[in-house]
């Protein structure tokens, strides 16, 4: 078996090119992890996800504990085996989803009691139970259970919330059952307050994890504030451990995150957009339902190698979305995941070549060009 | 280019083993054609359809003329090119769907005026326009425009309806633009009346088509009456032309149809069932949403080679359906199409071996066994 470890291969400014070794495969970083909330990346076969270059995916503790249930997934051999995913898997702790339930949840020092959004049934998550569930799900990377501090938050509220998360991080670590090639990440909180983020980084470092996530961002603070928070947080983090920015983001968020020293990302955006008709391209996003695509025989993105682009036209995809055909979301989700993976691969190559600043400039220039007019290609 | 032709390779009783040559590939018969109503076999990539052994698919004139529109499909290169289907394509004439609209349609000697189920807009189909549309769709096999006689029908009504369809068949033939490797089929009507079916067969034979379909069955008359109608119809039909039973059917309908000399079938059942949770197996159908599959690690059908069966458990499929995940319908539709193609391949092999009677007996014995109890496998 392989030990869980991270190699920092090279840097370019603050951007990092690394390699994560796990029991279930190697992850080249910076990496984007497609989200398979309920043990399926919506609308995609696992080998289709793999074919895009994705090396690690994410699944959600909250959804899977409710349905089909953590113990059941455990009896079925874990998420990877159940869904046929040939690679490492990261699970969140359930904390973020539970906090999103608002009045349906009640928090105390020990944990959180909440009602299921599915049937109103009562459930409880504590650091110990979240860690146990993630073990049952057979997560290659387990996340510490935390409170995702709402935004905006008064500093005293943010401090109390962060310190609770740090006490929970210790309990999560104590509950974690080490296995060769498996790891657990702590989550830095502290909202947009630099001193709180610093206190959180230090507290987690004292506990000691295989990696560290940055939580509580991409919750409404905006890209500028998020980048600012990264700028005062990542320099404090250990250089020999992977850094994961949770729930992020748009293509420009990924580029800005990598520029600021982030190694790992996850987001539902490429698949969610794929279901609603938004396709990401090297010249910015397009809405495939727009009438101007109705007879456009070009692919979504000429430079993309995915099946949607190499074998089907915008006109056909437009038709599939207009007719509410499931193949529309299958193809556009596939394309968007491919786009995200290509973007990460390009960033890895740029860091290796020492040309990341140029890459970033070109990326923004291309994105701002906008889509080519089909009448004047 | 290949001429459109049919070779009768061998017979076993009244069952026929044949081969259809078309411009876009060979079709081994008896054959089942998956339905791609709106230029997509719902929930399946075209190469997934192909991988099951499917050699020809069907698309619907009614749906495509309304959305995206026949002229538009024509400009996009036809249905095959637009949807990336590498094989022959059969289109229906629109007659059946238009008749199903009930009060939304008005029939006269020249054709049918109807309102779109999508937006209420007014449209007209005549034998000439239906044939022109199918040409625009680039159908490898075009169907004559007919009135699908409702069931039950008084004999005089059935006779009038059939004779109108025969006049329309002549006009459809006159409107057909012959192309090398392309063909047009006439449709036998006459409800459940043997003399009317005989009159229809003769009328179509006088016009002369590349193949003949049996229409107006599977419309509520029941399997026994359908088989009886086949028994007095197929013996009258030319032996050197393919025979197509439209819109049929359940697995036992296919076996009984082949036994009675039918060569071609189409039906939405495998994909529609795949969307609602019904899976076909060699021991009869199962409902994957049933709680008894929740922790069943076995495949849907042990003898099936499709991805759903070779790589995923009933438990996972059960979870996907419970969670309303699109991958559930993707996998179960794929399985059902594979089951249908395997059934046809088994029938072709049995006819070749001269063991079709034994095959039919075994098929019914296996189907009646029912699913294996997961608690006592």
Q: How far is B316 from chain A (nearest CA, A)?
A: 6
Q: What is the pLDDT of residues B220-250, one digit of tens each?
A: 999 999 999 999 999 999 999 999 999 999 9
Mean pLDDT of chain A: 96
User: What are the CA-CA distances from residue B301 to residues A351, B24, B284, B321 (Å)?
Assistant: 49, 32, 10, 17
pLDDT of B132 reads 98
Task: Give, as one character, the DSSP assignment of residue A22.
Answer: E
Mean pLDDT of B319-332: 98
Q: Collect all residues of chain A within an 8 Å Cβ-Cβ radius of residue B45.
A: 307, 327, 330
Please report how the helices B194-207 and B155-175 are oriented relative to each other, as an axis angle in degrees rounded to 10.
Answer: 10
Using CB atoms, which residue from A43, A72, A318 is nearest to B327? A43
Domain formed by A5-267, architecture: Alpha-Beta Barrel (3.20)
**Which residue out of A12, A253, A263, A266 is catalytically annotated?**
A266
Question: Is A138 designated active site?
Answer: no
pLDDT at B324: 98
| ipTM > 0.90 for the complex | yes
Q: Which of A36, A326, A331, A337 to mutate to test the interface with B (most CBs of B within 10 A)?
A: A326
Q: Which residues of B touch A82 (CB under 8 A)?
A: 313, 315-316, 319
Query: Is B375's pLDDT higher than 60?
Result: no
Contact A158, A193 (CB under 8 A): yes
Q: Is A324 a catalytic residue?
A: no
Question: For residue range A253-298, what is the model confidence (pLDDT) as tens digits?
Answer: 999 999 999 999 999 999 999 999 999 999 999 999 999 999 999 9
Question: Residues A103-139: pLDDT tens digits?
Answer: 889 999 999 999 999 999 999 999 999 999 999 999 9
Can you read off the two tokens belonging to residue B159?
Answer: 């006779």
Model pLDDT, residue A47 = 97
pLDDT of residue A52: 98
* Spatial distance between the Cα atoms of B249 and B240, rounded to a whole number of angstroms: 24
pLDDT above 60 (res A375)? no
For B76, which of A84, A307, A313 is closest by C-beta distance?
Answer: A313
Binding-site residue ranges of B for substrate: 92-96, 146, 189, 216
A220 is in an annotated binding site: no
The domain limits of chain A are: 5-267, 278-369
**pLDDT attached to residue A369:** 92
Those residues with Cβ within 8 angstroms of residue A367's Cβ, 6 or more apart along the chain or in another chain: A251, A252, A282, A283, A284
Res. A372 pLDDT band, cuts 50 70 90: confident
Note the pLDDT tens digit of each residue in B160-182.
Answer: 999 999 999 999 999 999 999 99
DSSP state of A283: T
B320 Cα to chain A: minimum distance (Å): 8
Chain centroid to CA A188: how far?
15
Closest approach of B165 to chain A, Cα-based (Å) = 31
Percent of chain A surpassing pLDDT 70: 98
Distance of alpha carbon A329 from alpha carbon A296, whole angstroms: 18
Across chain B, what does the average pLDDT equal?
A: 96
Calpha distance A323→A317 (Å, rounded) = 10
Plot region of B86 (φ>0 → left; ψ -120 to 50 → alpha; else → beta): beta
Beta partners for A112?
Answer: A107, A125
Mean pLDDT, rounded, for B142-149: 96
Confidence of residue A374 (pLDDT cuts 50, 70, 90): low
Query: What is the distance in angstroms between the Cα of A150 and the nearest Cα belonging to chain B?
Result: 28
B contact test, residue of A319, A324, A325 with most B CBs within 10 A: A319
pLDDT in tens, A53-110: 999 999 999 999 999 999 999 999 999 999 999 999 999 999 998 888 888 899 999 9
The torsion of the CA quartet A116, A120, A126, A131, rounded to 10 degrees, works out to: -40
Nearest-Cα distance to chain A for B269, in Å, is: 17
Q: Which residues contact A313 (CB under 8 A, 6 or more apart)?
A: A296, A297, A298, A299, B76, B82
Q: Does pLDDT of B274 surpass 50?
A: yes
Angle between helices A314-322 and A326-353 in degrees, nearest 10: 130
* 8 A C-beta contact, residue A279 and residue A336: yes
Whether the CB of B245 is below 8 Å from some CB of chain A: the reply is no
Among A43, A318, A319, beta carbon nearest to B39: A319
Residue given tokens 């969610």 in the structure block? A272
B43 touches chain A (CB under 8 A): yes
Interface check for B298 against chain A (CB to CB < 8 A): the answer is no
Asked if A314 and A291 touch (Cβ cutoff 8 Å), the reply is: no
Contact list, A44 vs chain B (CB under 8 Å):
327
The residue of chain A nearest to residue B72, with distances taken between CA atoms, is A295
| For A46, nearest residue in chain B (alpha carbons) | B327
- Read off the pLDDT of residues A7-34 as tens digits, 9 standing for 90 and up: 999 999 999 999 999 999 999 999 999 9
Contact A297 B322 (CB under 8 A): no
pLDDT digits (tens, 9 = 90+) for A162-213: 999 999 999 999 999 999 999 999 999 999 999 999 999 999 999 999 999 9
Q: Which of A38, A75, A295 sits opposite B72 (nearest CB)?
A: A295
* pLDDT digit string, tens, across residues B11-67: 999 999 999 999 999 999 999 999 999 999 999 999 999 999 999 999 999 999 999
Q: Which residue of A has its CA nearest to B330?
A: A43
**What is the model's pLDDT at position B103?**
82
- A351-362 pLDDT, tens digit per residue, is 999 999 999 999
A327: nearest CB among B40, B313, B325: B40
Task: Note whether A64 contacts B: Cβ–Cβ < 8 A.
Answer: no
B46 HSE (CA, 13 A, CB side): 23
Could you say which of A44, A83, A316 has the minimum Cβ distance to residue B316? A83
Q: What are phi and psi of B168, to 5 degrees?
A: -70, -35
| A194 burial via Cβ count (<10 Å: 0-12, 13-18, 19+) | middle
Ramachandran class of A18: left when φ > 0, alpha when ψ lies in -120 to 50, beta otherwise: beta
Indicate whether B218 pLDDT > 90. yes
Share of chain A above pLDDT 90, in %: 94
Cα of B273 vs its chain's centroid, Å: 15
Q: Is A306 annotated as a binding residue?
A: yes
Contacts of B84 in chain A (CB under 8 A): 311-312
Chain A positions touching B312 (Cβ under 8 A) are 83-84
pLDDT at A104: 84
pLDDT at A377 exceeding the cut of 50: no
Three-class secondary structure of residue A183 per DSSP:
strand
The whole-number pLDDT of residue B102 equals: 83
Beta strands across the sheet bearing B31-34: B31-34, B264-267, B243-245, B211-214, B183-188, B141-143, B89-91, B57-59
The yes-or-no verdict on residue A251 having pLDDT over 70 is yes
Q: What is the mean pLDDT of residues A304-323?
A: 98
Give the pLDDT score at B99. 86
Which 119-138 residues of chain A touch chain B by CB within 8 A?
A: none
Q: Which residue of A has its CA nearest to B325?
A: A42
pLDDT of residue A376: 53
Greater pLDDT, A337 or B103: A337
The CA distance from A30 to A57, in Å, is 14
- 10 Å CB burial of residue B176 (0-12, 13-18, 19+) is buried
Torsion-angle region of residue B41: left (phi > 0), alpha (psi -120 to 50) or beta? Answer: beta
Q: What is the rounded distance in angstroms from the CA atom of residue B314 to the CA atom of residue A302?
A: 39
């Amino acid at each position: 078996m392989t030990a869980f470890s991270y190699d920092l291969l090279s840097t370019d400014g603050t951007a990092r090119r690394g390699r994560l070794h796990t029991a279930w495969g190697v992850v080249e970083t910076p990496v984007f992890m497609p989200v398979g909330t309920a043990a399926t990346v919506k609308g995609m076969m696992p080998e289709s996800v793999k074919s895009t270059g994705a090396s690690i995916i994410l699944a959600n503790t909250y959804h899977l504990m409710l349905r089909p249930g953590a113990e059941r997934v455990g009896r079925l051999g874990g998420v990877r085996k159940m869904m046929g995913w040939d690679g490492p898997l990261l699970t969140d702790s359930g904390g973020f989803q539970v906090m999103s339930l608002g009045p349906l949840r009640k928090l105390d020092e020990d944990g959180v009691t909440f009602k299921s959004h599915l049937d109103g049934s009562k459930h409880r998550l504590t650091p110990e139970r979240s860690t146990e569930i993630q073990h049952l799900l057979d997560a290659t990377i387990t996340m510490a259970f935390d409170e995702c501090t709402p935004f905006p938050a008064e500093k005293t509220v943010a401090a109390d919330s962060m310190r609770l998360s740090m006490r929970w991080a210790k309990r999560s670590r104590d509950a974690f059952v080490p296995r060769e090639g498996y790891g657990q990440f702590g989550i830095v909180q502290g909202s947009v307050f630099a001193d709180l983020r610093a206190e959180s980084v230090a507290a987690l470092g004292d506990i000691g994890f295989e990696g560290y996530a940055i939580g509580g961002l991409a919750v409404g603070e905006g890209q500028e504030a998020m980048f600012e928070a990264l700028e005062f947080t990542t320099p404090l983090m250990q250089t020999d451990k992977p850094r994961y920015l949770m729930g992020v983001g748009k293509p420009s968020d990924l580029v800005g995150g990598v520029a600021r020293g982030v190694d790992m990302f996850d987001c539902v955006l490429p698949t969610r957009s794929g279901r609603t008709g938004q396709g990401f391209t090297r010249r910015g996003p397009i809405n495939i339902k727009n009438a101007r695509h109705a007879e456009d025989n070009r692919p979504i993105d000429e430079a993309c190698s995915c099946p949607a682009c190499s074998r089907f036209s915008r006109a056909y995809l437009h038709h599939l979305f207009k007719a509410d055909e499931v193949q529309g979301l299958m193809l556009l989700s596939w394309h968007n995941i491919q786009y995200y993976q290509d973007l990460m691969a390009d960033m890895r190559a740029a860091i290796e070549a020492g040309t990341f600043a140029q890459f970033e400039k070109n990326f923004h220039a291309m994105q701002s060009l906008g889509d080519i007019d089909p009448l004047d290609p």
